[in-house]
Amino acid sequence: MEVRSRSRTEKTIQILEVVNGYPDDNNNNEGITQATLMSKLFLGYEQMKEYLMRLIEDDLLSYDTTMSTFKITEKGRTFLQAYNQIDQILKEHKI
């Protein structure tokens, strides 16, 4: 079995997907903690911190200081949707 490292883009998309889909079972989304993200994505503290800071700076995620949680922004949802559309086209054309 070949173990392949994830690219920065793959890690970024995975973070956005997890934050966007958390929690799955209700609409009262209070966000997701860094610890939960780390455990779901198997990323270390420093690496996760770097990604989260960049995503906040790019306005793809927001941070709730009261709840210590992260939420996806509207810009983040738009970015994720556009990425998934492009990815689907590339897969369909085997590019």
Q: Each residue of 18-65: pLDDT tens digit?
A: 999 876 554 556 899 999 999 999 999 999 999 999 999 999 999 999
Band of pLDDT at residue 6, cut at 50, 70 and 90: confident
Show the tokens assigned to 82: 């556009």
Comparing CA positions, the residue from 83, 82, 61 lying closest to residue 72 is 61
Task: Give Cα 68 to chain centroid, integer Å.
Answer: 16
CA distance linking residue 73 with residue 57, whole number of Å? 12
72 has pLDDT over 60: yes
pLDDT at 22: 74
Q: How many CA atoms lie within 13 A of 69 on its CB side?
A: 15
Q: Which residues pair with 71 in a beta bridge?
A: 62
CA distance linking residue 13 with residue 81, whole number of Å? 10
In the three-class reduction of DSSP (H, G, I as helix; E, B as strand; rest coil), residue 83 is classed as helix
Show the tokens assigned to 81: 């949707």
**What predicted TM-score, i.e. pTM, was given to this entire model?**
0.84
